[in-house]
């Protein structure tokens, strides 16, 4: 039985190393999301960090700042969602689709 437990621990360590490598790689992968027909575009990396944002000058209206804020929120939230989906897809490759709390 101890030998079987040793194999499980070895496999867990290998999986942990693979997960760490994927997390590092995800920092370099990005997704793009936009709102307002492309008037606001965000780029989010695999760590759910916003890398860039582009705002079309036409959407900047001092009399309607609330619309601009809403569009930015929509683009950022969509980007984060896509980034999380990208990460979950990569993680499922090594976990075999098994849901591991804290990883996806």
Q: What is the largest CA-CA distance in the chain?
A: 72
CATH number at residue 15: 3.30.1310.10
Host domain of residue 83: 2-95
pLDDT tens sequence for the chain (104 residues) = 566 777 888 887 888 888 888 888 888 999 999 999 999 999 999 989 999 999 999 999 999 999 999 999 999 999 999 999 998 888 888 777 666 555 54
- Going by C-alpha positions, the residue among 102, 92, 80 that lies closest to residue 22 is 92
Provide the 8-state DSSP code for 48: S
Residue 9 maps to a domain: yes
For residues 35 and 75, the answer to whether their CB atoms sit within 8 Å is yes
102 part of a folded domain: no
């Amino acid at each position: 039985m101890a030998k079987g437990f040793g194999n499980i621990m070895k496999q867990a360590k290998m999986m942990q190393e693979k997960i760490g490598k994927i997390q590092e790689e995800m920092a370099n992968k990005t997704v793009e999301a936009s709102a307002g027909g492309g008037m606001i575009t965000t780029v989010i990396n695999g760590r759910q960090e916003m890398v860039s944002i582009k705002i079309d000058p036409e959407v900047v209206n001092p009399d309607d700042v609330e619309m601009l804020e809403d569009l930015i929120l929509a683009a950022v939230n969509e980007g984060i969602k896509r980034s999380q989906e990208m990460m979950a897809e990569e993680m499922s490759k090594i976990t075999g689709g098994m849901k591991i709390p804290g990883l996806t």
